[in-house]
Amino acid sequence: MLALFFCAGSAMAAEQEVLLTLQNNRFSPVEVKVPAGQRVKLIVHNLDAAPEEFESHDLNREKVIPAGAKVAIYIGPLKPGRYAFYGEYHEASAKGVVVAE
């Protein structure tokens, strides 16, 4: 039983984190590369004075990010490919893509 707990803890520690910032209604970086087949934790830091909603039909995720806040969004494991995301409140400028390789 202890071995099972240890293995699960080790797998969780290996989870990759990727930082996205939102400033001036734009995501940076615009393209995020992640390993295919692995779960990834996106940390979205909203540096703007207004909230934004991270939206992705490709990733099946949506999450409001309050002004000045950081929010974790878990994705994957993903098959190799491109997965678009955008800011629902500023679709014209807040765009990006996750590339699983």
Whether 6 maps to a domain, the answer reads no
Whether 7 maps to a domain, the answer reads no
Q: pLDDT tens across 5-55, in order?
A: 444 444 454 679 999 999 999 999 999 999 999 999 999 999 999 999 999
Q: Cβ distance 66 to 1 under 8 Å?
A: no
Whether 86 maps to a domain, the answer reads yes
Whether 1 maps to a domain, the answer reads no
Whether 10 maps to a domain, the answer reads no
| CA 87 – CA 57 distance, rounded (Å) | 12
Q: pLDDT tens across 44-100, in order?
A: 999 999 999 999 999 999 999 999 999 999 999 999 999 999 999 999 999 999 999
Q: What is the DSSP string of the chain?
A: -HHHHHHHHHHHHT-EEEEEEEETTEEESSEEEE-TTS-EEEEEEE-SSS-EEEEETTTTEEEEE-TT-EEEEEE----SEEEEEEEGGGTTT-EEEEEE-
CATH assignment at residue 53: 2.60.40.420
